A and B are shown apart, each in its own frame.
Chain A
């Protein structure tokens, strides 16, 4: 038996890493304030509470390593005029490798045809924060990237003025050339490249940024994807495509239960498989998982197929540990029980109990959303090699600096000796924020004396060992007046927290989870009480595209529609009435100190914008139009990631309960748009992902093990079940105003819009996701209230 090859990363021994990871995904302020996190702050030994009093920082300023706007880090120009722009954020389908460089190129007055894009390695000191999550690449880096481009343009202008010996005020850059206005002389960027590079970088406050009216690429949507041609020709390189000289291929048998470990294993049969070279144990990880590999036994072979065959032949006995009893059916019941009892109050406006006692009627409902797996089409994969005291890693990472730091710690190296190359990501959706697979590759390379090793996760591995979306019960009660309008609102939200992945004792939703649509519900209701019962995690909980907004929006937007139905009102009119008049609400007054890490004065909750997307989508979708029999329209709206999105779904449910979705309309107000076509494509994709999780998505546990294995029993939406038409309506924005997020906020309104449409079509109210199996002729009517 091979001994474990490496030490496990522990939170108490690794304060900086854990802190960085949480900061990457949560706001620093909220973290320091310790809302539900007090224990964690202590556990990781944050230096002193005095730090909490330092000046408040928001946005990119608040992210690990902040932002960089140095043109020398991001722009280089060859003597042939080729402009190379570095993209420091990870491309996972959101179009960031087109969008970020486009911003630089616009201010630089570069001709896009002569621009190439280079991908930054994980190096936040050089490039600023690289955690590609939280729907924030554009909102955090629009201004720094503009300044990069403007600074580089200024340096070209200064170089040309020097060459011509004329005042710099007489020259200007235009389409890859600098022009001397009085004489009409021109110099191309290539011929100025060398001289420009030796110019001093102009001071930030001296930069001339374009008037947005002068933008040539930003907001125009005429540029094709940087990687489009490589993608359609099979040349695009993802993590799983990495090939290195002499590379070996690994798959890993991991403990099937979270917190389990290898009791014993016998590699003999595996080693008999042709092509298998070694069998190596990876040290197990007791919870909390953080970003450690789960441990297990790796089979290393000459190709992936041999490794998979070897793993099948491997005999491993597991010690399942304390989570062996995790059972989704029982856990749902436990969450429901918790949701029916008073619990920790996280927001309390007015007096719910008194208002409810005096109200005309009361309504109550509970909503359930199960665990979900991201199921990125490219499963997690990474390769590593170690030579001369240095480690190189290649992989599909959303957080390459984190991968670098964790690999360095695990190998006992300095981060300076670890290089993390970022490939394209074949989908990310939050899974690839957690680079445990990169650490596996590094550990296995070390076990093979530094030889290059690529670890590939099979689909079964991906579904069995995900950082899952949480599982939740949302308990809502409303008291209404004589007209059916809510005067009091109670929402108990209960779900294992993501923090449990970093601190096994954490049982309450963190501020950033509550701030995803439950605590900051901006309704015109005087008496609002939000409570958060405790829940214990029994698996790795992680970030899944739009995160806690999924259960919160599903519950809230379904419940509003239920109240509308009870009042006999039109759901759209009723929703607008519950939102109330257009007003700007300070997030703090809603109990939301997090506000997506953004300054409350820059990003108030704007119910006028929320109303506008509701009104726009209703108008564009033809709300109220005549529909065929068994068709219905449903509407829902949700504010998340600083953007306002409303959706109208049209569904049809046939006599057999077969659901089809002829059309979805979405209205999006995310502020101004850098690349409108990618905003559309993100909304289309979010719509399909929302349909998938609403209709078929479910990860369940029995005996501590995930019950789903592959796409036959973890279904995702396919073309035949996808909405036939998706119409995206973008509310025009203003580049003078703060930008909102795009990658995630399209998801949350989709499940309630669908369920509201199903109610309109059939009278059947769905309160438990997924919808699958609940629409047939024999299925029972509404779940228990």
Chain B
């Protein structure tokens, strides 16, 4: 049995330890906000926060995260930075199809937690692992800057 702490709740699973966290969340728990896009950590759609860090869940075996705090897009709004990002995303009309945006927000949350005053280069580095095929990048950048500014990290 594998015990995972997801969005503040502890649960046990009878699943192989090498099973990726992504499919555990989606198929076994019904947390479908974390998306499948590539299965190889190439696109970022599956990004979750593990102990506050943005991690690609599609290549993360559940056996590797049994003693960590896992936060998905469904619960990121309970965190002030996550909530601010969600608000900015809505206000600035960032999403088009929206499929990748959960992963984008999780990567942005990881970025702002790590560097509250991100430069354009920081944003490029943190966000270039997240593909948006609709091409919302200019608005994602603007939304991150707006949140950083509101969090006191204006530049």
Query: Which residues of A does B touch, CB under 8 Å?
Result: 91-95, 224-225, 227-229, 231-238, 240-241, 243, 249, 274, 303-305, 308, 374-379, 424-429, 456, 458-459, 677-678, 681-682, 684-689, 692, 710-712, 716-726
Contact = CB atoms under 8 A, between A and B. Distances in A.
A681 B134 CA distance: 9
Contact of A711 (B20, B42, B98, B120): B42
Contacts of A233: 33, 73-74, 77, 86
B135 A379 contact: no
B22 to A, nearest CB: 8
Contact of A303 (B28, B101, B123): B28
Given A379-B36, A427-B134, 7 more contacts: A233-B73, A234-B102, A305-B19, A375-B133, A424-B99, A692-B135, A711-B43
B27 A234 contact: no
A94 B36 contact: no
A93 B32 contact: no
A428 to B, nearest CB: 8
Contacts of A678: 93
B54 interface: no
Contacts of A456: 36
Contacts of A375: 133
A712 B42 contact: yes
B73 A234 contact: yes
B93 to A, nearest CB: 5
B52 interface: no
Given A427-B99, A686-B135, A718-B131, A224 B93 contact: yes
Nearest to A235: B33
B138 A722 contact: yes
Contacts of A726: 138
Interface residues of B, number: 59
A215 B85 CA distance: 32
Q: Which 8 A-B pairs have the closest CB atoms?
A: A234-B33, A688-B135, A426-B99, A93-B96, A93-B97, A231-B98, A234-B73, A303-B27
B23 A304 contact: yes
Contacts of A228: 89-90, 93, 95, 98
A240 B34 CA distance: 11
B56 to A, nearest CB: 12
A654 to B, nearest CB: 16
A723 B19 contact: no
Contacts of A710: 38-40, 42
A171 B129 CA distance: 58
Contacts, number: 186
Q: Which of B127, B135, B138 has the most CB of A within 10 A?
A: B135
B101 A231 contact: yes
Interface in B11-54: 16, 19-20, 23, 26-28, 30-40, 42-43, 45
B97 A377 contact: yes
A684 B85 CA distance: 21
B141 interface: yes
Given A677-B93, A681-B136, A234 B72 contact: yes
A242 B82 CA distance: 26
Dominant SS among interface residues on chain A: loop
Q: Which of B32, B129, B137 has the most CB of A within 10 A?
A: B137
Contacts of A716: 131, 133
Contacts of A224: 90-91, 93
Nearest to B99: A426
A501 B27 CA distance: 35
Nearest to A717: B135
Nearest to A688: B135
Nearest to B34: A234
B79 interface: no
A678 B136 CA distance: 12
Interface string B59-98: 0000000000000111001000000011001110101111
Contacts of A225: 90, 93, 95
B140 interface: yes
A462 to B, nearest CB: 10
Given A93-B96, A427-B97, A719-B128, A684 B136 contact: yes
Given A231-B98, A377-B99, A426-B97, A685 B135 contact: yes
Contact of B35 (A94, A274, A426, A692): A426
Nearest to B91: A224
B100 interface: yes
A377 B35 contact: yes
Contacts of B30: 243
A552 B40 CA distance: 35
B123 to A, nearest CB: 7
B105 interface: yes
A201 to B, nearest CB: 35
B102 A722 contact: no
A304 B26 contact: yes
A710 B42 CA distance: 8
Given A94-B96, A233-B74, A304-B36, A377 B135 contact: no
Contacts of B99: 238, 376-378, 424, 426-427
Contacts of B74: 233-235
Q: Which of A234, A305, A426, A685 has the most CB of B within 10 A?
A: A234
B131 to A, nearest CB: 6
B96 A377 contact: no
A355 to B, nearest CB: 42
B144 to A, nearest CB: 10
Nearest to B90: A228
A665 to B, nearest CB: 13
Contact of A377 (B31, B89, B100, B120): B100
A719 B127 CA distance: 7
B34 A377 contact: no
Q: Which of B23, B134, B136, B137 has the most CB of A within 10 A?
A: B134
16 contacts: A224-B93, A225-B93, A225-B95, A229-B90, A232-B105, A234-B33, A308-B39, A377-B97, A427-B134, A459-B40, A677-B93, A681-B93, A681-B139, A712-B42, A718-B128, A722-B137
Contact of B133 (A274, A305, A377): A377
Given A229-B90, A234-B31, A687-B135, A459 B38 contact: yes
Contacts of A458: 39
Nearest to A232: B86
A725 B141 CA distance: 10
B87 to A, nearest CB: 8
